[in-house]
Homo-oligomer: A and B are copies of this chain.
Amino acid sequence: MGIVVLGTVALDSVKTPFGKREKMLGGSAAHFSMSARLFTKVNLVAVVGKDFPCEYIDFLERKGIILTSLIRSQGSTFKWEGQYEGDLNTAQTLNTELGVLSDFKPVISEEERRIKYIFLANVDPDIQRHLLEKMRSPKLIGLDSMNFWIHHKRNSLLRLMKMVDIFVANDQEARSLSGETNLVKAAKWLCSRGPKIVLIKKGEHGVLLLSEKFIFSLPAYPTEKVIDPTGAGDTFAGGFMGYLARAGKANTMNLRKAIAYGTVAASFNVEDFGMNRTAHLSMRDLNKRLAEFKKHILF
């Protein structure tokens, strides 16, 4: 079972206490794909500009990611510039250039429209809905967003939430959208807006999943090697949705395993800048760390 992921493919400039990198390959859909590709076929739907380096296209293709619907438009690629300090848990955005993202209309092939697993990674909720309406027979739809859309397109986002199965947010976003400070209450509020499953990512503190039937939480994989957390949330989502697409069924046990795989995938992502680490991952690496992680939380 393949996945369609819609989101951004970006040029990221990042500064952390461990160094600085300019115009790395980044973006929500790119990070998601780099992780989900380990589990299943991934069709990436996004837009880049004329300035987007060909070597990044080659790189994504070499990783097996299907780029049929990666559009190259006139204008410049979406750029994000940010920095991390202290515990590296929160990004500070220094600059954002929307570029070609500002009038992006996703176009996908007839074949892609029939894919059943869909992830709407962070991008304007109107663009997310545009894609979703094209899909012929979705089986599982995941949705991510960010503070910018929560504040500027709250109604679009709330309308979209009614159409999806899984809503993914970080703790700040969950609090901000729901108005609840307690995360379990926030998750319940979000669940009441449509999605059957709500997943709250807490960065270095792990993750909380709430569904009508059960609640599940895991700490992050404890690591002292945190070089650049950019894309950790999307890498998590890629592992999570990737596992579910491969398993073919989002039952309780598979959801738990999917979260564990997402957690482990994200733990690799933070170990180096951009996709330097996740680009070289194998299922063997993931499984090895998963077994270690299982021991960490055993009692």
Contacts and interface: CB of A to CB of B under 8 A. Distances in A.
Nearest to A206: B219
Contacts of A226: 182
A175 B88 CA distance: 13
A196 interface: no
Contacts of A88: 181-182
Interface in A207-252: 208, 214-220, 222-224, 226
Contacts of A279: none
B215 A181 contact: no
Contacts of A204: 183
B222 A208 contact: yes
Interface stretch (A67-75, A114-122, A147-155, A255-263): A255-263
A44 to B, nearest CB: 28
Interface stretch (A54-62, A91-99, A291-299): A291-299
Given A205-B206, A219-B219, A184 B296 contact: no
Interface residues of A, number: 37
Tell me the dominant secondary structure on chain A's binding face: mixed
Contacts of A260: 299
A87 interface: yes
Contacts of A182: 87-88, 224, 226
A222 B224 CA distance: 25
Nearest to A254: B299
Contacts of A205: 202, 205-206, 219
A19 interface: no
Given A205-B202, A208-B222, A217 B296 contact: yes
A205 to B, nearest CB: 4
A125 to B, nearest CB: 26
A41 interface: no
Contacts of A23: none
Given A182-B87, A183-B204, A219 B222 contact: no
Nearest to A217: B219
Interface in A166-185: 175, 181-185
A226 to B, nearest CB: 6
A56 to B, nearest CB: 30
